[in-house]
Amino acid sequence: MRIESLELTAFGPFTDRRLDFQEGTCGLHLVYGANEAGKSSALRALRDALFGILDRSTDNFLHRHPDLRIGMKFRSRDGVVKQFTRRKGRANTLLDPTSDTPLPDDFLSPVLGSIDRPLFESMFGIDYDQLVAGGKEITQLEGSVGQTLFSAASGLASLRDTQRELEQQAEKLFKSAGTKPLLNSLLREYKDVIKKTRGENKGSRELAQLEADIEQAAKKVSQLSESQLQAKREAERHQRILDAIEPLSQRREMRERLESLRGVPLLRDDFQRDYRAAAEQRAGAVMRKQQAEQEQTTLRQERNDCSVPPELLENHTAIPSLRDQLGGHRKAHSDLPELTRALQVCRTEAQDLLADLNHEYASLDDAQLRPLFGTLGRRIKTRRLGDTLRDLERSLERIERGIRERKQPLRDKQTSLAELSRHPDVEQWRQLLLELQAKAPCENSLAERRRELAEVDSHIASLLAQLPGWAGNCEELTRFAGPCEERIAEYEGRRNAIASRRMSAQSQLEELHTELQREQAARHRIEKGGTSVVSEDALLEARAARDQTWQIIRSLLENPEHDTAQPTEPGRLQTLRSEYEKRVADADAIADRLRRESDRVSEFARCSAEIERLEKAIVRTQSALEDLRNEESNLARQWRDDWTPLREVAEHPGEMRAWLRRRNEVLLQIQRRDDLRRQIDDYQTALAATRRSVEERCRADGIAAPMESESIQTRAMLTQKLLDRWQKEEATRRELERDLERLREQMDADEGERARLTNELDGVRNAWREALVPFGLPAEATPEHLDDALNRIDQAKKKMHEAFGPNGLHDRIAGIQHDTQAFTQRVRELAMRSGIPLNSADPADDAERLLDRLTDAKQRHDRGIGIDQQLEALGEKIRRSDEAIEVAGRRLQVFCDEAGCESAEHLDARHHQSMERRTLEDQLRIVERELLRCAAASPIDDLEAQVRSCNEREVQQAVHDASQQEQQLSSELAEAREELGGLRQQRKAFDTGTEAIDASARVQAILAEIERCATDYVRTALAAATLRRAIDTFNERYQGPMLQRASGYFRQLTAQAFTGVRIGHDDNDRPIVVGSKRSPDGREQTVPAVAMSDGSADQLYFALRLAYLAEWLERNEALPLIVDDILIKFDDTRALATLEVLAEFSRKTQVIVFTHHQHLLDLARSTIADQTLFVHHL
Amino acid sequence: MWKFLHAADIHLDSPLRRLSRCENGPISVLREATRRALVNLVDLAIEEQVAFVIVAGDLYDGDWDDARTGLFMVSQIARLREANIQLFAIAGNHDAANRMTRNIRLPENAQYLSHRRPQTIVLDTIGAAIHGQGFENQAVTENLARGYPARRPDCFNIGVLHTSIDGREGHDNYAPCTLADLVNKEYDYWALGHIHARELLCSDPIIAFSGNLQGRHIRESGPKGAYLVTVNGHRATAEFRALDAVRWATVEIDISSLRHTDEVLSTLQTQIALTTPRCDGRPLVVRVELTGSGPLHHSLAGRPDRWDDQFRAIVSDQGAADVWLEQVKFLTRAPQSQTRERALEGPWGEVDRIMERAMTDDAVLDELARELRDLRARLPDDLTSSNDGIRVDDPVWLRATLASVASLLHERLRAGADSP
């Protein structure tokens, strides 16, 4: 993938800003922006375009979240250019920039594959912080090979922390030998609770035993309780005898006094209150009687003054009726003149109304006018006739107006119809249109294919030109098969293996040389010690010489004659002896030295042996290296043979793969070109046939033929317009014809209706004229005239009815006169019957006087009746007082009888005696009750006899003994009850208490906790183990290729300060990543990561990252490398070196570097070729 | 017309399993769930004025011997006695093993049917014959049903049996028999016990397991209770009545169609809101199972501890309803495309490659699992022996756990990368 452009349509500080990355094959793009220019926003926009705008994006300070838009145009590996717009949201965030319609969610999947945002940022993005953190991580990892490579390849700067975190988390959860970790603590708690749960259980067998114990204890309590009761009863019996002595004495005295009061009756408690109440009642009744008699005398005197004449009172019902009539009489007399005047007005108005109608009617009197009103009943019929006449005239007028109005539209439509013209056969044109519409897209397709063809041709030419080492044309390329992927993979595998072995061998060789030098120096030091170093060989040689001399001496001594070679000489033996002794001495001296200098000797021997071994090993390793070189050159030869047709052969399989991919792209484009050519031919043939059809049709219908340049689409559009016009005209024609038909039908109907209405109107007009005659109206009178005449008649009739109708004015005047006469007669008659003389002329005044007299008589009469009633009540009161006096007397007598005394005066004394007797009897009963208790249900007399017969002191002793026994038993009973209570308390614990199920629930809760923690632990421990293993396997797989590539990058990045990266060993002989450099004396030195400067460690990290990325790019779709200001702390030399590395790397994939340092731009421009470096300003 | 209740497997005072400590929960309700369910059973018997209650075995639980449990049973049966209701029970495998069965004497209105031979109790007043035989020891493997007596023609015949019938998963195969064995007896109703899941085996005659009275763990989810049986002549209708005090339910959240983690939380809230009304006010214990394959897999499986805490917070914030989270099961899988492609490349790919190999290669799995040997030796048997416990020795369990380990690793490494 290569980004062609980034559209910052609405994002961060940008509005419609565009960054164009199209120049160059891949290119190193330097995006420069000063502070606040929006460099960070642009960087975020690039990532957000690919992976979506983050939910909490802070780039909304200028454009609202919903309005954020980023556009991107990119070219995929197969050369296809695509573009999209990214908006913020959760779904459908990818839009087609041309139509603004959503693109499928997997639109970017072909280029991004499984790369998501975090992976992209860790692999293809690097900024200064990541670089520093990565360098620091390498230092902290102390060069550990697996972790260093894994960390750099994944872009992780916290691998060590993550590993440590996982392990610490696991240890916090569980340790096999610990006690503090959570799980260990829970497991301990679990065991404790299980133990406690067993302790909390109260077994059912225990309960059964407890219940048996309770039963036994209860039985014992029952027995003791019974015994105690017996003892108590005995004590009580004796105590009762003692208690009875005093009451018995009292009883005797009381009985004697009662005997003296025998004959005194026991009076009721309320006796005194009752007899005193009776005495008070009698005294009250006497006083009330005296008061009533005095009042009676006074009232009788007043009654004599209240007498009235009886005749007047006899008419007390008839006279008041005059009051009602009196009001009516006076009202009628005041209304009479007004009624008489109104009667005259009505009559005059009726006559005036009729006179306006017909002057003959003015002279008619009441009796003559009435029949006139009756004969006019036919007026309803006449009025209906008038209405009919009016309706007919209006209808006729409406019809005639309609006929007039329709004539003009009819003429207009006939004219329009005549003006419409005929058109050709529409159906055939419709068919033609369909054909044109079907073929119209072919033109676009044809143009599209032609354009595509041109693009493809151009693309093929471009691809061919860019295909390294290829001089042939397309056809030759199609025929060239080239090696297959398996072959490349095999070559790559063998090449990597050889490289790995060579590196290993070189490393080994260097180590061997170093070791050899060390051993040689050691031997040299031993040799420089002064004396030469004796060896075992020297000893062996000395001993052999010694033995040889001895053998000669021996053979001479044993067989002197046999020595022919050297004849025995006198001095010879001596010489031999001396020689022998010397050799013995030499051998002994050597042996002594060997013993004495054994350490030095053995060290010298070891050094010599080691030097020998190392020299052999060096020879072997050099030989192996030579073999590897041969093998490598053979492989390279084979490799070149496979690529014979090419002018140049790339050394690296990755490049070859890239060549093959490019070749495949060219082949795909060639195939596409051929397909396009075929399609273009097909489209051209189809379009020519369609044009011929159009021309024929135009000729047939006399329509102008289309021009050559006119497109099918234009012709289809014109034809469509033609058809639309014809269709519209046809619709208009049909509409006009329908309207004409409808107008004609209406005209005919209106004509018929006019004739019918004219006939009917003539008949009605004749009947009308006849109907007017009775009303005295002329023949030309209209219905309105008739209405006016009838209104007048109705008003006249109403006036006459008001005057002479039932209850009219005339009847009311006659009624008033009759009522006045009857009233006068009635007043006179009542006065005479009541004996009251009257002499007034107005009957109303007489009537009022009569009413006054009656009122006065009635008042006097009512007062007399009231006094009579009072007198009667007083008589009754006196009678009741007499009765009360008698009753009270009788009651007092009854009390005397009850108390047994002769008169009421003795009642108080008798009552006192009765009270004394009652008190004594009550006291006796109390004493006897006490004695009964002492006698314990036996008769008192028996108790008395018993008391008399016993000795008081003996009885007291018996009471004491029984009490002692009871106390003893009571104590035992308390103990037994306490025991029973204890047992019952234990039993009660079984009824309550939920300790066991509480403990059981606790067990389950702890188990749940353990399960949770154990699951966490399992996950964490497995994750840690997996990570360790992943680091190891990654190391095995990628160590060789990564180190080889990283060596080159590191050398470049450090401006040759280091010669490369390789594997060394630390003090504990563990393999570590080291940098190698050459010392001033030309020897190679290794520097462990931990000993590097911060800058070098950062560059080592960057070299390793680039190395893995290069590996990755060989097998996957390229993605741009985004570098964010990593050079800010590099010196110019290394910054320049880094830019050169990035420029070189940009041959593999697009590299976009963001920076806000101007001097970096200058630096880059000064050294990097223009066709590689492209600068963009924000 | 008369009624009786068919219940079984009360397992009184058996604890609710694997329930974490609920700091603010109705501890007494959860702790005494089986007791409350028994009280509910007695309440129902009294309210419906049933003639008798049948318990088809397992009044008590295994080797649980706390006399207070037996006394609670006695107190409830005494309540039945006051309402003039009898209780007929048979000993199940748990009762046969339990001391309380022998030591705690039940009130006179309760009767254990013989465990030596089939016993028939005839209730003349209502015309009912109850046939049954209890377990003499814990493991009865012979077919007890065959020895049951012939039906009484003038009675409504009820067979009471503690059986696994022809075998049921998760239950020991005790007193096995076939459905035909039961049907051939021509009884009018078979009240069965031992299987904790409610099941109507036959509708004419009714042959049914009432299930246990109170669910005690997540595999005993849903309403639990007894059958209220109404008898009219020889015809019976059985109506299930829920009597449990605490309800168990599994809430499954399929992440396939979810795109944002907020959706997981809102789905959980919705699911719980839908489940709660079906519990009729009972406390609810839920297990959340995250399933399916989707883009949220890594985020969920990568930080299971954090999500577990979040889910617990959501469940405890469900307002008035009493809802508790038993545990969260992370059973999600990575989207297929990601898994396949990522396994091919680089450091991240190595992690996936090891996971893939561990899924098929026992040697790789053993090597990874070597880390867990010490843990395995220390874990209680209760955890390692149950089907849904920690089964470190079981490759299937290990592989299921590994499915989330890759995500955990990716998340940790990335989190580290984000915060250098």
Which pLDDT score is estimated for A648?
Answer: 66
- Put the strands of the sheet holding B119-123 in their side by side order: B119-123, B128-132, B156-162, B189-193, B206-209, B199-203
Kindly tell me the burial class for residue A950, based on how many C-beta atoms sit within 10 Å of its own C-beta (0-12, 13-18, 19 or more): middle
Q: Kindly report the pTM of this predicted structure.
A: 0.52
Are B196 and B232 found together in one domain? yes
| Mean pLDDT computed over A86-97 | 88
pLDDT over 90 percentage in chain A: 6
Q: Assess A211–B contact: CB distance below 8 Å, yes or no.
A: no
One domain, residues B251 and B235 = no
Average pLDDT over residues A166-189: 89
Confidence band for B418, pLDDT divided at 50, 70 and 90: very low
Amino acid at A435: E
Cβ contact B6:B229 at 8 Å? yes
Residues B37 and B156 in one domain: yes
Are residues B229 and B262 located together in one domain of the fold? no
DSSP sequence for B344-385: TSHHHHHHHHHHHHHHH-HHHHHHHHGGGHHHHHHS-HHHHH
- B228 — phi, psi (to 5°)? -95, 115
pLDDT in tens, B191-203: 999 999 999 999 9
| Contact: B378, A157; criterion CB under 8 Å | no
Which pLDDT tens digit goes with each residue over A410-438?
888 888 888 776 677 778 888 888 888 88
Q: Which of B192, B211, B242 is the last residue of a domain?
A: B242
DSSP bridge partners of A963: none
Segment A700-716 mean pLDDT: 78
Strand B235-242 relative to strand A1151-1155, pairing? unpaired
Interchain CB distance below 8 Å, B337 and A1009: no
Nearest by Cα to B66 from A213, A1001, A1005, A207: A207
* 235-294 in chain B: CB under 8 A from chain A: 259-260
pLDDT confidence of residue B340: 46
Q: What are phi and psi of A907, to 5 degrees?
A: -65, -35
**Rounded to a whole number, what is the distance in angstroms from the first to the last CA of chain A?**
23
Give the mean pLDDT of A722-741: 86
CA A248 – CA A950 distance, rounded (Å): 14
Q: Which of B211, B242, B273 corresponds to the end of one domain? A: B242
Q: What is the pLDDT of residue A69?
A: 93
Q: Are residues B187 and B315 in the same domain?
A: no
Residues 6+ away with beta carbon under 8 Å from A107: A82, A84, A94
Cα–Cα distance between A1007 and A189 in angstroms, integer?
Answer: 10
Q: Residues B204, B313: one domain?
A: no
Residue A771 has what pLDDT? 77
CA distances in angstroms from A223 to A218, A220, A236, A836, listed in the order given: 9, 5, 20, 121
Closest CA to B325 of B271, B383, B244, B254: B271
Cα–Cα–Cα angle for A494, A497, A503, rounded to 5 degrees: 140
Mean pLDDT over B207-223 rounds to 94
CA nearest to A81, candidates A447, A459, A445, A457 = A459
CB B379 within 8 A of CB A184: no
Cα(A30)–Cα(A7) distance, integer angstroms: 17
User: Greatest CA span in chain B, whole angstroms?
Assistant: 87
Q: Across the interface, do A1012 and B20 touch by the CB < 8 Å criterion?
A: yes
Q: Which residue has the tokens 């009025």?
A: A383
Q: Is B372 on the interface with A (CB under 8 A)?
A: yes
Amino acid identity of residue A1104, one-letter, is L
Tens of pLDDT along A766-801? Answer: 888 877 776 667 777 787 777 777 787 778 778 877
Shared domain for B222 and B261, answered yes or no, is: no
Question: Bigger pLDDT: A625 or A832?
Answer: A625
- pLDDT reported for residue A649: 65
Q: How far apart are CA A1072 and CA A637, in angstroms?
A: 35
| Token reading at A966 | 């009871």
Same domain? For B106 and B120 the reply is: yes
| Token pair of A102 as six digits | 């959503």
The predicted pLDDT at position B257 comes to 87
Q: Is the peptide bond before B176 cis (omega within 30 degrees of 0)?
A: no
Contacts of A165 in chain B (CB under 8 A): 412, 416
Q: What percent of chain B has pLDDT over 70?
A: 94
**How would you class A1106 by CB atoms within 10 Å of its CB: exposed for 0-12, middle for 13-18, buried for 19 or more?**
buried
Q: Are B92 and B209 in contact (CB under 8 A)?
A: no
Q: Within the 127-146 window of chain A, which residues sit less than 8 Å (CB to CB) from chain B?
A: 129-130, 133
Number of other residues whose CB lies within 10 A of the CB of residue A424: 14
A51 lies within 8 A of chain B by CB: no
Domain that holds residue B333: 247-418
Secondary element (H or E) of residue A912: helix A907-935
CB of A1000 less than 8 A from some CB of B: yes
Stretch B168-186: mean pLDDT, rounded?
90
Q: What is the dihedral of CA A1161, A1165, A1171, A1172, to 10 degrees?
A: -50
Q: State residue A469's pLDDT score.
A: 75
Q: What is the mean pLDDT of residues B60-64?
A: 83
Q: Are residues B185 and B260 in the same domain?
A: no
Max intra-chain CA distance, chain A: 240
- Would you call B308 an interface residue with chain A, using a CB distance cutoff of 8 Å? yes
Q: Taking CB atoms and an 8 Å cutoff, what residues of chain A touch B64?
A: 1000
Nearest CB to B416: which of A162, A1026, A1116? Answer: A162
Task: Give the separation between CA B94 and CA B60, rounded to whole angstroms.
Answer: 6
The answer to whether residue B397 neighbours chain A at the CB level (below 8 Å) is no
Confidence tier at B419 by pLDDT (50, 70, 90)? very low
Contacts of A413 (CB under 8 A, 6+ apart): A736, A739, A740, A743
Which of A109-123, A129-143, A1040-1054 has the largest mean confidence?
A: A1040-1054
**What pLDDT shows up at residue B339?**
45
pLDDT tens track for B21-59: 665 666 778 888 999 999 999 999 999 999 999 999 999
pLDDT in the model for residue A421:
66
Residues B169 and B57 in one domain: yes
Render pLDDT for A921-979 as a digit per residue (tens, 0 to 9): 888 889 888 888 888 778 888 888 888 888 888 888 888 888 888 888 899 999 999 99
Quick check: A357 pLDDT over 70? Answer: no
The interface predicted TM-score (ipTM) is: 0.86
Closest residue of B to A1006, CA-based? Answer: B20
For A654-671, give the DSSP string: HHHHHHHHHHHHHHHHHH
Mention every residue, 6+ apart, whose C-beta is less than 8 A from residue A676: A449, A452, A453, A456
Q: How many angstroms separate the CA atoms of A1178 and A11, rounded? A: 13
Chain A and chain B share a number of CB contacts under 8 A equal to: 225
Interatomic CA distance for residues A1062 and A1059, integer angstroms: 10
Q: Which residues on chain A are in Cβ contact (under 8 Å) with B259?
A: 90-91
| Mean pLDDT, rounded, for B293-306 | 84
Q: How confident is the model at residue B344 (pLDDT cuts 50, 70, 90)?
A: low
CB contact under 8 A, A207 and B304: no
A207 to chain B: closest CA residue: B67
CATH of the domain at B234: 3.60.21.10
Mean pLDDT of chain A: 83
User: How many domains does chain B contain in total?
Assistant: 2
Q: What is the mean pLDDT of residues A457-475?
A: 80
Among B204, B219, B242, the domain boundary falls at: B242
Condensed to tens digits (0 to 9), the pLDDT of residues A238-263 reads 888 888 888 888 888 888 888 887 77
Q: Residue A358 pLDDT more than 80?
A: no
Question: Could you tell me the pLDDT band of residue B147, with boundaries at 50, 70 and 90?
Answer: very high
Question: What are the φ and ψ backbone dihedral angles of A106, each rounded to 5 degrees?
Answer: -95, 25
- For the cut 70, the answer to whether the pLDDT of residue A374 exceeds it is no
Report which residue type is found at A103. Answer: L
Residues 31-50 of chain B with CB under 8 A from chain A are: 31-32
Mean confidence (pLDDT) of chain B: 88
* Residue B264 and residue B193 share a domain: no
- Residues B15, B81, single domain; the answer is yes
Q: What is the DSSP string of B25-57?
A: S-HHHHHTHHHHHHHHHHHHHHHHT-SEEEE-S
Say if CB A976 and CB A224 are below 8 A apart. Answer: yes
